[in-house]
Structure formats: C-alpha cells, structure tokens
Amino acid sequence: MTKAAAERVFGAAPWVVGWLADRARKALAPRPDGERHLLFAICDHFEPLHGKVSSDVGLARVRAWREGYPVLASAFRDACGRPPRHTFFFPGEEYDPAFVEPLGELVERGFGEVEVHLHHDGDTRETLRAKLNETLDALARHGVVPRRDGLPAWSFIHGNWALANGRPDGRWCGVDDELALLHELGCYADFTFPSAPDPCQPAVVNAVYYPRDDTQRRAYGRADRVRVGSPVRDRVLLVQGPVAVASRGMRRRWPRIEAAALHAGDPPSSRRLASWVAQWVHVKGRPEWTLVKLHSHGAPEKNARVMLGPAMAGLHEGLAELALAGWNLHYVTAREMYNVVRAAMAGRDGSPSAYLDYAVPPPERATLRPS
C-alpha cells in the first residue's frame, strides 16, 4: 500500500472502526424471511455552476438533464411500474429560475423531486436562517417544495459535507446548532452522509438515526438509531447511504473506500451494487426493507455522461437482475425514502410502496402529472 493510500484509509480510522462494528453487529442479526424489498434512491448534489462556469454553461447542463433523463429512465421500471426517480438537491446560492424550472418539469412528469442543498461559510444562526428561507421561497415558486401543516417540508444535503460545523477547521458552515435550526425551518431529514474519506464523515455508519443532541457541533456524531416502535422526535432524522472498505477485485491487492458516490472516476458496477446492498442499511426490526441511497454531482459534463449514459443504464439492468433474484425493487426519492422509514418506525409492514407519502406529502408540482 502506498503512503497516500494508507493515509486515505487509516486516516479515516473512526469511521473504519464504526464500519467494522456495524459489520459485526449485522452478522449476528437474523436475516429476513419472506419477501425482500430494495429501496433505491440517488441524491444528486445538482450544481449547474459547479467549477464557476458561466450561466450559459449552467443552462446547457440543465438542458442535458431535462432532455436526457426521461430517455434513460423511461427504459426501466420497478416492481410497481415506476421509472427511476432522481432527487435534485439544488444549491440555494446558485438559484436561477431558468435552472429550476426544467427540474420542475421533470417533477411534473414523475421522474423525480427537488430538495435543498447549500454551500455556506462563516454564518451565524440568523444569517443562515435568512439564506435557507430565501432558498425555500425561491424553490417554492416552482411548486417543488411540499407543505405540511402549512409550512415547507424539505430534506437537506450540506455543501462541502460540513453539516453542523463539522469540519475540524470550522470552514464551510459556522453554525454549531445547524441541525436544530434546520428542524425549526421544516427540514425533516438530512441525506449528507457518507462523505468518507472527508474528515466530516462520522464514526456512525450505515444507519438511520436521530442525533442525541442537535444543538452541539458535529451533533450527527452521536446516534440514537431508529427501530420499529421508535417515537418521532422533534429533530432532523439522518438517513445514510452505504459506506464500506471494499474489495477492488481479484487483481487488486489493496481495498478501496466505497462511499456510495457516482462520478466519472468511479462509475457504477455490479461489484459496487453488491457492496451497497451488503451494507444492509435498514430500520431495526424491519430487516426486509433495505435502503440504498447513493449520491452524485451530476451536473458537470463528465459526470453527466455517467449518470445519463450506458454506465447508469447498466446499473439499472443490474437492479433488474436483483429483481429476478427475488428482490422487490422500489425506485424512490429522498422524501419517499424518509416516508418509508417513518412507516417502519410506526410498525407498518408489507410492501413499502404503500407508504411513499406516509408522513410528508408530495410537492404540488408532482400532483399535476397525468395518471
């Protein structure tokens, strides 16, 4: 192993230890009998201006998705006949109606939903509140923000992974009790992690949980994992994607960090799909509902070629093969995955497809799509 490779793996020791503990714990857990359900979501840090490009380039990137995603998704269906569902976590600091409206059209056609992403630095509680409210107001003008009890209901991914001021150097946030503020403004779930080998990555891995105290810096590092019968708490729920120390294959000696990221340098593969499923992210007590939440930065051209091209088509073909092997596949958005988690906590069983709108309703724009 090279020095650089060693630093990447062993420099991330807290999460590696957490992963080993998770594997040991799940090895002792009973495997589900009967039907198995795989809930599959892609949470895209969708940044049209990534790389500080011009507005014209940003518009071209959005247009590529507006035109290309329906072509890709229309070729595949899950157990309920639904196409792949993409979640566009849109960065508030890049808001332009010309960027968001095409995404709203995809929402209306049933191909996905839009959620909140934000890069920010050096904020106070009040300056961050203003930025989030501005973002919510802007997205709401496109009919893509659900409302619950008259208030916006939304999920979040933090830019630069720095949730709750989680970076050691304090950059890219500034607000220790960010999770508490998010909840005050209507955020029901965070989908930021995993981020390994980034230093923001928590030792808690492959889990769905509430932070024990949402007022502290890096509050996401102490977990109360949810299970069937867990009460709903007045704080943001954290839904993690799979993370692992994984094999590179027979001809590669050293392992790789598998952090559920799809990009040009690490496209999807059958080996990666098997690793994601094997991490067995689920609500304790409902082991037959397995969650696979991936993430991407899908707007830049080189990544879009992966996300809209043959590599992604191959992933959906691999998911179809899992269905033939006995899995019931469910394409879901971030909101729908959260709703299924809530249903599991409440003791619901059977097919998770019955609970896609369980706690948070769909956005107004989604209700316009033809039946």
Give residue 8's pLDDT band: very low, low, confident or very high (50, 70, 90): low
Give residue 368's pLDDT band: very low, low, confident or very high (50, 70, 90): low
Looking at residue 247, its pLDDT comes to 77
Looking at residue 369, its pLDDT comes to 55
Q: How many CB atoms lie within 10 A of CB 362?
A: 18
Per-position DSSP letters for 207-266, written without gaps between them: -EEEES-TTSTTGGGSEEE-BTTPPP-SSPEEEPPP-EEE---TT--S-EEE--EEBTTB
Segment 66-100, tens digit of pLDDT: 999 999 999 999 999 999 999 999 999 999 999 99
Pairing of strands 327-331, 112-118: unpaired
Looking at residue 137, its pLDDT comes to 98
Please compute the mean of the pLDDT values over residues 298-327 and round it to a whole number. 97
Looking at residue 6, its pLDDT comes to 44
What type of residue sits at position 159? G
Q: Where are the domains of the chain?
A: 3-27+38-368
Residue 7 has pLDDT above 60, yes or no: no
Residue 251 has pLDDT above 90, yes or no: no
Looking at residue 253, its pLDDT comes to 65
Looking at residue 322, its pLDDT comes to 94
Look at 134 and 371; give whichever has higher pLDDT: 134
Please compute the mean of the pLDDT values over residues 3-15 and round it to a whole number. 57
Looking at residue 326, its pLDDT comes to 92
Tokens of 82: 């639904």
Residue 157 has pLDDT above 70, yes or no: yes
Looking at residue 63, its pLDDT comes to 98
Of 150-159, 251-260, 283-292, where does mean pLDDT reach its minimum? 251-260
Q: Give the predicted TM-score (pTM) of the model.
A: 0.95
Segment 18-45, tens digit of pLDDT: 999 999 999 998 888 889 999 999 999 9
Segment 274-312, tens digit of pLDDT: 999 999 999 999 999 999 999 999 999 999 999 999 999
Residue 321 has pLDDT above 70, yes or no: yes
- CA–CA distance, 340 with 352 (Å, rounded to integer): 6
3-27+38-368 has which CATH code? 3.20.20
Q: Are 236 and 186 in contact (CB under 8 A)?
A: no
Nearby residues of 54 by Cβ (< 8 Å), 6 or more positions away = none
- CA–CA distance, 122 with 177 (Å, rounded to integer): 14
Segment 163-197, tens digit of pLDDT: 999 999 999 999 999 999 999 999 999 999 999 99
- The residue among 282, 170, 193, 203 whose CA lies nearest residue 241 is 193
pLDDT mean across residues, the chain: 94
